[in-house]
Amino acid sequence: MSTTTKLPAPPATGRSLKRHVGLIGLMWASVGSIIGSGWLYGAKNAVVAAGPAAIISWGVGAVAIVLLALVHAELGGMFPVAGGTARYPHYVFGGLAGMSFGWFSWLQAATVAPIEVEAMIGYAGHWSFASGFQNADGTLTASGLLVAVFLMAFFVAINFLGVRVLAHANSATTWWKIFVPLVTIFAVALTHFHSSNFTSHGFAPFGAKGVLAAISTSGIIFALLGFEQAIQLAGESKNPKRDIPRAVLGSVAIGSTIYVLLQVAYIGALPGASFAKGWANLAYAGISGPWAGLASVIGMGLLAKVLFLDAVISPAGTGLIYTTSTSRISYGLARNGYAPEAFEKTGEQGVPWFGLALSFVVGVICFLPFPSWQQLVSFITSASVLMYAGAPLAYGALRKQLPNRERPYRLPFGQIISPVSFVVASLIIYWSGWETLWRLGIAIVLGYALLGGYAWYAHSANKPNAPRMDWKSAQWLPVYLVGLGIISWQGGFGGESHIGLWVDMGIIAAFSLGIYYWAVNTSLKTAAIERNIEDVEVVDAGGH
């Protein structure tokens, strides 16, 4: 990495963010997002879906996230702007693509906090006072819904105190969130580890399909998501060009290592009787809180108490930072002209207050159509990876159109890693299943109606930052979205099963590579890309 001078802080105009976050704050924002409710549920859900071969699922998931993180690290260093993941496609493909991936980014961020609230309430059921918050199927009762609304309000209230207070609060909780899983891994592995658990009922009882489905549907990818938080906070970083690549890559390394070790320790510690009827029927006392229940069953009562406490702290920290992210993405959407100017307005602490208020409302709504943790995870995984898919496309176009632009971090073999990472993103979306993707399709149409309607209004009212749609450079986008949907509908992951396993993945890979090179070759030309970049830099400096 090269050393660069620090960016000057933008003027306090009522529409500017404040650069108060250092390297540790950025990295801990990402690590704190990665280690949330995923570690509490992921190991159990993965082993039920894939058996002990869940270890392979975690490995594949980790490789996929690393590939995507590498691409984001170069882009994050090049463009240290708030809500970066929502803005890279805007630079190289113009308004339609920028609006689309901006919506995917916002949708992903806005629905994570409700997932974390679900996790907190689920584990809290261990205590008698909270036992009535959830039904037997994991859905919220009326009292549980009230508690969920209160927790969402709490996340928003903390965010109103400003990014400096948020960074300190998140840093403290993240140290705890790293410490507890590591203690759990070593305590369980050293005292209750049975290597025979990995083979006694078959290492891969559900075959390759189980291994692959577990990546999307059991919470593996969801658990590993979060490295982009450093990018979303780039507009508030003290030294973004130096710190963002380090924060992104460092957080992925920490998170992936912890999750793989947790899966190994969990499988090895399970009593034989718990999976005597097969991994799909895994059962033991307290399994609704998988790790804490396991600690109780194997006689580690003190660890169980710590885990029940952590089951409140870990998801709360992740929900807190994603509430922050949601408001920064909406801020970025407004800066690019896709959303009303109200989302740009900041209070005395430099907080985009309107975006925070909307994140609360949307979070509460999410408890209604997707009331259980597992349903929310499936939905958010596909939305998340669809968001990430924009970065490899932007990367490929920028390497072609702006090869000499300064890159504080330059990805080795990027021209190979970039298309591969786009294929991987498409596969993860496909593995999430048709039942999830058709719902995601409805959400995408809703986004086009909302953001497209505002873009039309902005042009009609001659708004100075009304976005240029650039239809030609985004011609590949509808083909990609519809094509993925058709393949999923006809495939074997919740679809009609007209396409066999492996053949379907070959089709996805070939289709994705075709889209990748189509997108790169039809991107905006160099002058137009530089104009978009300059427009964003001017706007982020405090003007319009």
The whole model's pTM is what?
Answer: 0.78
Look at residue 514 in the predicted model and tell me its pLDDT. Answer: 98
424, two tokens: 């991987």
- Of 189 and 118, which is predicted with more confidence? 189
Asked if residue 332 lies in contact with residue 102, where contact means CB atoms within 8 angstroms, the answer is: yes
pLDDT at 9 (0 to 100): 39
Residue that wins the pLDDT comparison between 488 and 287: 488
pLDDT classification of 393: cutoffs 50, 70, 90 = very high
More confident residue, 127 or 142: 142
Residue pair 167/20 in contact (Cβ under 8 Å)? The answer is yes
Residue 465 has pLDDT above 80, yes or no: no
| Secondary structure (H, E, C), 281-348 | HCCCCCCCCHHHHHHHHCCCHHHHHHHHHHHHHHHHHHHHHHHHHHHHHHHHHHHCCCCCHHHHCECC
Note whether 42 and 221 are within 8 A (CB). Answer: no
3-state secondary structure 77-100: HHCCCCCHHHCHHHHHHCHHHHHH
Q: What is the pLDDT of residues 52-78, one digit of tens each?
A: 999 999 999 888 888 888 888 888 778
Q: What is the predicted pLDDT for the residue at 44?
A: 94
Task: Tell me what pLDDT residue 232 has.
Answer: 64
Task: Taking residues 462-480, report their average pLDDT.
Answer: 87
Task: Residue 104: name the closest of 497, 446, 364 by CA.
Answer: 446
pLDDT cut 90: percent of the chain above it: 31
Q: Specify the DSSP class assigned to residue 218.
A: S
pLDDT of residue 474: 93
How distant, in Å, are the alpha carbons of 35, 194, 295, 333 from that of 114? 16, 36, 27, 22
The number of helices, as runs of H, and strands, as runs of E, in the chain is 21, 0
Predicted pLDDT at 388: 82
pLDDT at 82: 61
CA-CA distance, 313 to 415, in Å (whole number)?
41
Neighbours of 378 (CB within 10 A): 24
Supply the pLDDT for residue 4. 33
Mean pLDDT of 321-339: 81
pLDDT at 405 over 70: yes
Encode 15-39 in three state secondary structure. Answer: CCCCCCECHHHHHHHHHHHHCCHHH
Residue 106 to residue 471: CA distance in whole angstroms? 22
Mean pLDDT of 87-110: 86
